[in-house]
Amino acid sequence: MKFVRYGAEGAEKPGMIDASGQLRDLSGHIADLSGATLDPSRLAEIGEIDASSLPKVDGMPRLGPCVAGTGKFICIGLNYSDHAAETGATVPPEPIIFMKATSAICGPNDNLVIPRGSEKTDWEVELGVVIGKTAKYVSEDEAMDYVAGYCTIHDVSERAFQAEHSGQWTKGKSADTFGPTGPWLVTRDEVADPQNLGMWLTVNGEKMQNGSTRTMVYGVKFLVSYLSRFMSLRPGDIISTGTPPGVGLGMKPQRFLKPGDVVELGVEGLGTQKQTCVADT
């Protein structure tokens, strides 16, 4: 099943994509895609609704983030062996964990706002994992029971803020619009193997990233289990699992985003995003 949230920012409604690709309104059945609604058993119940009985949503409404009420936006750094190599970094012996402010979350096709003073705004296509029920001290064998589904994430990064201003990475990851999420929340049952998904990103039509989750160092099962040792994972929390090679930081010469650039990206089976870069005012 593919679930969406659509409408004006702050007033999104829940929706479902039917077999023909038509957007259907779910607001008569649930208030939003958040909290208890994300429990895998609840999502399965919603999926049993006859999509043809739901109202059609005409036109091309704005799509919001596919999950509401995210409490934690957890990111994994240097989690692709080939990406670590392009940056000259060593694959870490345990996952690198950092937080992205939830205020960075935006719709998949909203403008990407380059913050004031930025000279090194960079792109990163990532697989997002959405938690569906509270996980604490869970084993790898049971980890997937706590996953509601998957989505495409753009982990936008300001490299100077991240690495040249001392301290931790969070300040280079958390500007407004630095977390486009969606378009769809795709339920776990529709993704046969999250460790075998193609992923890509272009800037102004030029292919920059063309990778696969096959090269992830730490896979989804491990990450859910590992993170649950250090913090409770709650419904709506998002794990952004790292990026393949092809980021601007790793290019020679380095290349970064500027106002007017158009970024498009996608993860196999999880939908695509498109953002136009604009300067903050």
- Give per-residue pLDDT as tens, 197-234: 999 999 999 999 999 999 999 999 999 999 999 999 99
Lowest mean pLDDT among 26-35, 166-175, 267-276: 166-175
For residues 30 and 150, state if they share a domain.
no
Cα–Cα distances in angstroms (integers) from residue 277 to residues 175, 177, 190, 209, 259, in the given order: 13, 10, 32, 18, 5
The pLDDT value recorded for residue 168 is 79
For residues 17 and 110, state if they share a domain.
no
For residues 148 and 243, state if they share a domain.
yes
For the chain, the average pLDDT equals 95
The pTM for the full model equals: 0.96
Count of the separate structural domains present in the chain: 2
Residue 174, pLDDT > 80, answer yes
Residue 233 within a domain: yes
Residue 125 within a domain: yes
For residues 262 and 218, state if they share a domain.
yes
Calculate the CA 231 to chain-centre distance.
20
Segment 92-111 shows an average pLDDT of: 96
Band of residue 182 on the pLDDT scale cut at 50, 70, 90: very high
For residues 105 and 181, state if they share a domain.
yes
Identify which of 219, 244, 234 has the alpha carbon closest to the alpha carbon of residue 67: 234
Residue 3, pLDDT > 90, answer yes
The pLDDT value recorded for residue 54 is 97
For residues 91 and 173, state if they share a domain.
yes
Residue 60 within a domain: no
Segment 73-93 shows an average pLDDT of: 83
Residue 169, pLDDT > 90, answer no
The pLDDT value recorded for residue 22 is 96
Residue 29 within a domain: yes
Residue 258 within a domain: yes
The pLDDT value recorded for residue 97 is 95
- Cα atoms in the 13 Å half-sphere on the side-chain side of 183: 24
Neighbours of 13 (CB within 10 A): 20
For residues 101 and 203, state if they share a domain.
yes
State the Cα–Cα distance between residues 84 and 211, nearest whole angstrom: 13
For residues 151 and 249, state if they share a domain.
yes
Residue 62 within a domain: no
Band of residue 89 on the pLDDT scale cut at 50, 70, 90: confident
Segment 153-181 shows an average pLDDT of: 92
Question: What does DSSP say about strands 73-77 and 96-99: parallel, antiparallel, or unpaired?
Answer: antiparallel
Segment 19-45 shows an average pLDDT of: 95
**CATH number (domain holding residue 120):** 3.90.850.10
Identify which of 41, 96, 43 has the alpha carbon closest to the alpha carbon of residue 66: 43
Segment 52-59 shows an average pLDDT of: 95
Residue 64 within a domain: no
For residues 112 and 219, state if they share a domain.
yes
For residues 34 and 116, state if they share a domain.
no
Residue 139, pLDDT > 80, answer yes
Q: Quick one: what percent of the chain has pLDDT higher than 70?
A: 100
Do you know the residue count of the chain? 281
Residue 87, pLDDT > 80, answer no
For residues 47 and 77, state if they share a domain.
no
Band of residue 81 on the pLDDT scale cut at 50, 70, 90: confident
Q: What's the domain range around 169?
A: 73-279
More confident residue, 86 or 61: 61
| Three-state DSSP string of 67-104 | CCCCCCEEEEECCEHHHHHHHCCCCCCCCEEEECCHHH
Segment 78-93 shows an average pLDDT of: 79
The pLDDT value recorded for residue 92 is 84
- Give per-residue pLDDT as tens, 145-162: 999 999 999 999 999 998
State the Cα–Cα distance between residues 16 and 232, nearest whole angstrom: 29
Segment 99-111 shows an average pLDDT of: 98
Residue 28 within a domain: yes
Residue with tokens 């109202």: 55
CA angle, residues 256, 89, 230, in degrees to nearest 5: 100
For residues 146 and 262, state if they share a domain.
yes
